[in-house]
C-alpha cells in the first residue's frame, strides 16, 4: 500500500516537473540560454517541489506501459511549451522592432551575439529585448506567468493534460500580433528616418557638391538617437499593454473545449 502511494506521488511529481521544466526552458524570463543549465534545472526542480504537493490530491492516471507514460509526458510538455512559447513570441515582437529600426538606420552591421537564439542580432534588437524584459519584471510579469502556470493545473491537473485543437490557431494569431506590435513599436523611428531620408535627398538635389552619403548617415544617426530616446517609453507602454492579452489567449487555448 505504501509502495503504491509512493509511486503515485512520484508519478505526479514527474508530470509536474515536465510541465514546469518545459516552461523554464523556453520562456526568456526563466531560462535564457545565457543562464547556466544547472541554474535553470535548479529553478525547475524548486518550482516543481512547490507545486507538486498541490497536485497530490488529484489522482494521476497510472500508465499501463511505456507508451502510455510517454503520452502523459508529451501532453504535460506541450502545456508548458505552449505557455513558454507565448511569452517568447511576445518578447520577439520587440526584437522585430529593433530589427526594423536597424535596417532603416543603416546599423544592420552592428551585430551582437544573442545566446538565446544562438546567432548574431542587431544591437538595437538586443536593446529592445532588454527594455521589454525590464518592463516585464517591473509590472510583475513573472508573477503573472507563475499565476498562469498554476491556473493550468486547475483546468488541466497533472496527468490530465491533452492537446487542444485551439493551440495551433492561438500560436499563429500570436505570431501575427507580434509582427504588428513590432511595427507599432518601431513606427515613430521609421517615420522620422523616412522624413530624414527625404530631406537629405532634397538637400542633395539642391546642393550637389555635398557628400550626401556621409551627410545622410550622420543625420540618420542623429535622428535615430533623438527619436528612439523619445519614443522608447511609448514602445515599452505598447509592450506592457499586450502582456495580459497574450496570457489570456494562451490560457483560452489550453482550456479543454
Of the candidates 231, 221, 223, which has an alpha carbon nearest to the alpha carbon of residue 188?
231
Q: What percent of the chain has pLDDT over 90?
A: 0
pLDDT tens sequence across 205-250: 777 666 666 666 777 778 888 888 888 888 888 888 888 889 888 8
Q: Are 31 and 145 in contact (CB under 8 A)?
A: no
129 burial (CB, 10 Å; 0-12 / 13-18 / 19+) is buried
Burial per residue of 80-110, b for 16 or more beta-carbon CB atoms within 10 angstroms, e otherwise: bbbbbbbbbbbbbbbbbbbbbbbebbebeee
User: What are the distances in angstroms from CA 31 to CA 85, 100, 116?
Assistant: 12, 26, 9
Q: Are 164 and 257 in contact (CB under 8 A)?
A: yes
Of the candidates 44, 123, 119, which has an alpha carbon nearest to the alpha carbon of residue 84?
44
Go through the chain and tell me how many residues it has: 257
Residue 159 gets the label, from left (phi > 0), alpha (psi -120 to 50) or beta, of left
pLDDT tens, residue order, the chain (257 aa): 466 667 777 888 888 889 898 888 888 876 556 667 788 888 888 888 888 888 777 766 777 788 888 888 888 888 888 888 888 888 888 888 888 888 877 665 555 555 555 556 677 888 888 888 888 889 888 888 888 888 888 888 877 777 677 788 888 888 888 888 888 888 888 888 888 888 877 777 777 666 666 666 777 778 888 888 888 888 888 888 888 889 888 888 887 76
Cα dihedral: 229, 175, 180, 226 (round 10): 10
Number of H helices, E strands in the chain: 8, 2
Note the pTM of the prediction, 2 decimals.
Answer: 0.81
Residue 124 gets the label, from left (phi > 0), alpha (psi -120 to 50) or beta, of alpha
> Can you give the pLDDT at residue 1?
46
pLDDT tens sequence across 42-65: 888 888 888 888 877 776 677 778
Amino acid at each position: 500500500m505504501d509502495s503504491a502511494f509512493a509511486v503515485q506521488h512520484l508519478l505526479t511529481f514527474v508530470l509536474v516537473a515536465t510541465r514546469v521544466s518545459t516552461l523554464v526552458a523556453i520562456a526568456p524570463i526563466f531560462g535564457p540560454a545565457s543562464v547556466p543549465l544547472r541554474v535553470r534545472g535548479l529553478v525547475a526542480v524548486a518550482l516543481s517541489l512547490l507545486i507538486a504537493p498541490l497536485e497530490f490530491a488529484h489522482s494521476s492516471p497510472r500508465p499501463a506501459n511505456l507508451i502510455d507514460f510517454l503520452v502523459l509526458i508529451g501532453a504535460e510538455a506541450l502545456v508548458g511549451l505552449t505557455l513558454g512559447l507565448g511569452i517568447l513570441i511576445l518578447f520577439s515582437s520587440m526584437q522585430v522592432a529593433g530589427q526594423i529600426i536597424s535596417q532603416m538606420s543603416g546599423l544592420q552591421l552592428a551585430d551582437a551575439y544573442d545566446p538565446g537564439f544562438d546567432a548574431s542580432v542587431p544591437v538595437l534588437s538586443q536593446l529592445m529585448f532588454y527594455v521589454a524584459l525590464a518592463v516585464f519584471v517591473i509590472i510583475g510579469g513573472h508573477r503573472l506567468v507563475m499565476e498562469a502556470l498554476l491556473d493550468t493545473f486547475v483546468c488541466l491537473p497533472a496527468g490530465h493534460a491533452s492537446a487542444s485543437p485551439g493551440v495551433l490557431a492561438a500560436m499563429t494569431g500570436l505570431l501575427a500580433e507580434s509582427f504588428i506590435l513590432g511595427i507599432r513599436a518601431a513606427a515613430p523611428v521609421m517615420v522620422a528616418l523616412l522624413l530624414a531620408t527625404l530631406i537629405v535627398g532634397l538637400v542633395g538635389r539642391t546642393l550637389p557638391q555635398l557628400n550626401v552619403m556621409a551627410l545622410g548617415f550622420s543625420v540618420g544617426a542623429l535622428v535615430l538617437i533623438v527619436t528612439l530616446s523619445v519614443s522608447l517609453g511609448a514602445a515599452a507602454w505598447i509592450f506592457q499593454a499586450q502582456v495580459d492579452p497574450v496570457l489570456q489567449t494562451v490560457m483560452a487555448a489550453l482550456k479543454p473545449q
